[in-house]
Amino acid sequence: MRLERLTHNKIKIFLTFDDLMDRGLTKEDLWKDTFKVHQLFRDMIEEASEELGFEVNGSIAVEVYSLPAQGMVVIVTSEGEYDDTEEEFADDYIEMQVTLDESDDIFYEFQTFEDVIQLAHRLYAIGCLDGTLYSYQNRFYLHVADEPPIPLDNFVALLAEFASPSTITIHRVQEYGKKLIENRAIEQLVRYFPAR
């Protein structure tokens, strides 16, 4: 689980499917209103409080975005004002508004351009030529829209050797980032940066 503070009252949490399995949950369980799901949210808020100093003040809004074979991005916003006379967790109850969304995007973040080039050669070898390459805030992002030439789990495992699932949405990168290669990024990277 990775935590990131977005504003004074908003945090982003990235959960991998392994994080969910460790807690005895599946992706489908998050769509249900069960005790385990409430416990997961309570644990996330507690960890955010310890690591980021994020305090729950009244009710919270929770937005969950599912990324295929990568995990979940959870945005938590504290919406209320703090009241000293009220115990926030008094009856183990938190008022939550939950919004769920699912994305089919394969969208990965790279630390270095060298990682992008190395992955491009590996993907080219298995017949994957497509993709769009972006740059945003000193990171590189690869979006693969076409169906992978190998099973999705194997494809994601290959991507994970060189990159991490992006916790920033593709829409933000498209709007504020720079499109470096629009079409057939893998093929173009291999052509311009041949193996040594």
Domain covering 1-99, topology = Alpha-Beta Plaits (3.30.70)
Q: Which fold has domain 104-190?
A: Alpha-Beta Plaits (3.30.70)
Cβ contacts of residue 92 below 8 Å, gap of 6+? 42
Instruction: Give the C-alpha separation, 175 to 136, whole Å.
Output: 10
Which pLDDT does position 81 carry in this prediction?
55
Strands laid side by side in the 139-144 sheet: 164-165, 106-110, 139-144, 132-136, 178-181
The Cα–Cα gap between 50 and 90 comes to 19
Model pTM? 0.57
Two domains, one topology: 1-99 and 104-190: yes
Which H helix or E strand runs over 18? helix 17-22
According to the model, what pLDDT value does residue 152 have?
A: 84
Give the tens place of pLDDT for each residue, 76-98.
Answer: 888 765 444 344 443 333 444 44
CA distances from 25 to 17, 31, 38, 69 (A): 9, 11, 11, 15
Asked whether the predicted pLDDT for residue 8 surpasses 90, the reply is no
Query: For residues 69 and 48, is the Cβ–Cβ distance under 8 A?
Result: no
Any idea what DSSP says for residue 49?
H
Question: 60 pLDDT exceeds 90?
Answer: no
Quote the pLDDT of residue 91: 39
The mean of the pLDDT values for the chain is: 80
Taking the domains of the chain in order of start, what are their residue ranges? 1-99, 104-190
Q: d(Cα 37, Cα 160) in Å, to the nearest integer?
A: 27
